[in-house]
Structure 1
Amino acid sequence: MARSTGALIAVLALTTGAFNTGATADTGSTAPSAPPAATTPTQAEAGEPDLSVTASVPDETYLMGEKIPVTVNVTNNGDADAEGVKGLTSSGEGFHFSTEWQTWGDFDSATGATVAAGETLTVEVVGSVDSWDSGETVLSIHLWGHGDANPADDRTEVVLNVVPPSVTDTVSGIVFGDANDNGQFEIGEQLAGVTVVLSGRSTYLDTSTGKDGRFTFSEISAGTYDLSFQDLPDGWVIRYGHPIAVDGSGATSDLRYATQRPLSDALQATIEFAEPTYQPGDIAELTVKLTNNGSAPLSGIQAACDRAAEGPHLEGFDDTARWGELVWGGGGVSIDAGETRTFAVTGIVPDDAIDYGVVHVICDFGPKDFINGFPVVHTWAKVPGLSTDTWGTVVHDSDGDFTGDENITNTKIALIDPQTDTVVAKGKTNAEGRVDLAGVPAGTYTPRVYGPWKLRDENAYVHVKANDPRSQGWAVYVVPGPNVPDPDEGDNGDNGTGSETDPPESPAATPPIGSGGDGGSTPVGLASTGVDILAPIGAGLAAVLAGVGALLFSRRRRAEA
């Protein structure tokens, strides 16, 4: 990284005065601009610890947001061990240094560090300047220990050499679809309409690429930032975060970002439970099928499952005895071009699956080094046994933001078993647009609204969880659509069950989860990042299956950067 010249020279200065205990985080307290007049150190008496501290930083220039290592030396000059010794940093006036507290080690632990008589302990404390409005970047390092004979030398200062925010530069570049996979931009590969986000510390800016694929941010203050890309067209994918360093040298004025085709273009994945129903503690057998539809072999393919770590997910997917080479972090498997490989795996049905009425598996497949654009598969099996009373509302969502504009009254709604297309419960909304359904088996259902309405999200699901009143109160969002008649003649809107032998063309025609020609699994679409793999499902699966609020679960993938 290019560094500015003519910056401050790091200096080290000892100051005197006792230290008052406090939290290990940066306090932002004012550091003196110059050390006070020297005082005569107090001589440690026999049997007392006597702590002192010195600190230094490398003779380099840093950017705001860049990690700065501060070497701290703690010496006990006394003839007794110093116990409970703690350290912290505080910033000078006009700037803030954010310390990574864990780098203090034992000096930030609950009991503090022990420094034996005559011993010197050295730690490298790491942090960064995250704001700087005025003044010098003076960082104070403090110590505190029980019974220290001479607290006057328990504090020191260093001046950090940081490029000031008054230095600015342009961040500009081009985003392109690397069609021939050569890593070089060629005419015709530019991508228009990509949202580019520049973020860092208190900065958040966004813009879009033009017809030439270019984007520009002007007068950006010196510092470290992250570029991310959203709304890529035609299925192109790119890693989520791209760190950049703005230092005034012009190095960020012509950046190039190549996007790739998603792995899901070539790799198809399915997962199928061996049985339709299970009970808690059962060992479930599953079949994983991977097909390489591409023209080149694939290697290192692994399964990353349950990234959100929520809901009744099958256990044991991280055990090589159960999932073999597919376990994430292992060697992975290879699949030749045009080849299909089948893997027999097992897992344990968790105890709380009976509350949800289902046990599910959601995994993405690909090599560990690049997780954007992987095929994602979600499948589940029933865990029957519990029922509960549940309620929800039917809401007209006229602007498509999944917040209700008005509740729909006097309208019939049914919960449909997506595996059998059977009505599990049916009711009619009251004057407030609420429907109450009694004794509904815990599970995942397709909502079907009768009358001149259709679902806002055709792939929506309602989750009914037992033993958790917080999970009730779901909402079904609808918009005007073709009239859907109730085929049960004479139905007065009370709860009822039955089979609709000729279901109307409606959102209930969604292919059922856990059954069908794809081996009982539903390919969800493209994964985003490792941290964000469940983001497109989070409004339903990660939140509802965890019992947080009342939401609809959608298998539809959200647009991802």
Structure 2
Amino acid sequence: MSHDLVVTTGADGRFAFDGIPVTSSASVHFEKVPDGWVVPYLPSLRLDGSGEHTALEVRATRPLTDVLTETITLDKASYAVGETGTATVTLRNTGDRPLTGLYAGCDPGGFGRELEIPHEQWGAFDPWHPAGTPAPGERLVLTVSGKVPERASYFGLTGLSCYIDHLDGESSGSGPYTSAEARVPGRKADAKGQVWVDKNHNGQPDAGEGLAKTKVVLTADGTHPVAQARTDADGFATFRQVDVGEYTFRARGPWVTVGEGDVYVVASPYGYGDWSVQVAPR
């Protein structure tokens, strides 16, 4: 098949696909599941007419986030490369049953800029040997430490981002995720991008939609500018030699940013490419 087949479950939760071509590797997944219910990933199905997969039962479960909370704090707001940072991860089981087989999965973005935490420091929440078991109502505090990697200096940021999850095959992927960040000052970089107005409402910048000859700024706190530039005739602007890090974008005049409007200034060779910010009249 060159496309997905789509059906909607009935009032009793039943569904059926009719006339499917014979295959040894069909897959079924669920989308737009209401009320936060989690449906597990199903193994590949062999559809050969034998009837083996005509009575599937798929058990939906509640997500871990219903009963498990997570917070992360760092011991400092700024670090140097090679310095050791300490993070405090606090977990709380607010449910009435124990949670079993939990682990901490950190740096899920894969950027390699976060604190380098040896997996053994996670104890029972070691991702290599998941065995975390918070009792009902229990509050657990995990303290871990690691060095700030060299790569963090290219982003201007370090910290820790972790999801808490388990591998039970049913509600995996539904645990809480949170992060804490600190600055890593030092490097500077140019940041080029385009400011545009979606005149034809197609959700993407097209020719003639660049916001021309407008003053734009980056702020670290949403108010005070740390870098300024002016767009050209096509809406492009370059912020020159800005401290690497995350900034909030603003266009001067009667314009409001559409969406988050964050601009990440990253030094080569780890740059994200040109930034793009959509604006609209106030």
> Normalization by structure 1: what TM-score?
0.46
Quickly say closer, same or farther: Cα 1:334–1:422, change in 2 above 3 A.
farther
Alignment of 1:465-480 (within 5 A): 465-468=266-269, 471-478=272-279, 480=280
Is the Cα contact below 8 Å between 1:329 and 1:368 reproduced in 2?
A: no
Q: Could you tell me how far 1:271 is from its partner in structure 2?
A: 1.2
Alignment of 1:297-446 (within 5 A): 297-316=98-117, 318-320=118-120, 322-370=121-169, 371-397=172-198, 403-405=204-206, 406-418=209-221, 422-446=224-248
> Normalization by structure 2: what TM-score?
0.86
Is the Cα contact below 8 Å between 1:228 and 1:242 reproduced in 2?
A: no
SS of corresponding position for 2:89 = strand
> Cα RMSD (Å) of the superposition?
2.5
| 1:272 match | 73
SS of corresponding position for 1:323 = helix
Deviation track 1:350-374 (CA, whole Å, cap 9, x = no partner) reads 1121111111422110223342211
Quickly say closer, same or farther: Cα 1:469–1:204, change in 2 above 3 A.
closer
Structure with the largest fraction of strand: 1
Greater shift, 393-402 or 376-385, is seen at 393-402
Quickly say closer, same or farther: Cα 1:453–1:234, change in 2 above 3 A.
farther
Q: C-alpha distance in 2, partners of 1:378/1:461?
A: 17
Alignment of 1:101-500 (within 5 A): 204-212=3-11, 213-224=13-24, 225-316=26-117, 318-320=118-120, 322-370=121-169, 371-397=172-198, 403-405=204-206, 406-418=209-221, 422-458=224-260, 460-468=261-269, 471-478=272-279, 480-482=280-282
Q: Could you tell me how far 1:398 is from its partner in structure 2?
A: 6.0
Q: Could you tell me how far 1:457 is from its partner in structure 2?
A: 2.1
Q: Could you tell me how far 1:469 is from its partner in structure 2?
A: 8.4
Larger relative contact order (Cα-Cα within 8 Å, sequence gap ≥ 6): 2
Quickly say closer, same or farther: Cα 1:390–1:230, change in 2 above 3 A.
same
Q: C-alpha distance in 2, partners of 1:401/1:237?
A: 32
Q: C-alpha distance in 1, partners of 2:201/2:39?
A: 28
Quickly say closer, same or farther: Cα 1:280–1:238, change in 2 above 3 A.
same
Deviation track 1:20-70 (CA, whole Å, cap 9, x = no partner) reads xxxxxxxxxxxxxxxxxxxxxxxxxxxxxxxxxxxxxxxxxxxxxxxxxxx
Q: C-alpha distance in 1, partners of 2:126/2:83?
A: 21
Unaligned 5+ segments in structure 1 are 1-201, 483-561
Structure 1 residue identity aligned to 2:139: T
Deviation track 1:381-415 (CA, whole Å, cap 9, x = no partner) reads 10001112222111224677753142222333322
Identity %: 32
Structure 1 residue identity aligned to 2:22: A
Is the Cα contact below 8 Å between 2:7 and 2:17 reproduced in 1?
A: no
Number of aligned residues:
276
Is the Cα contact below 8 Å between 1:289 and 1:340 reproduced in 2?
A: yes
Is the Cα contact below 8 Å between 2:86 and 2:144 reproduced in 1?
A: yes
SS of corresponding position for 1:477 = strand
Structure 2 residue identity aligned to 1:310: F
Q: C-alpha distance in 2, partners of 1:402/1:284?
A: 41
SS of corresponding position for 2:59 = strand
Is the Cα contact below 8 Å between 1:402 and 1:477 reproduced in 2?
A: no
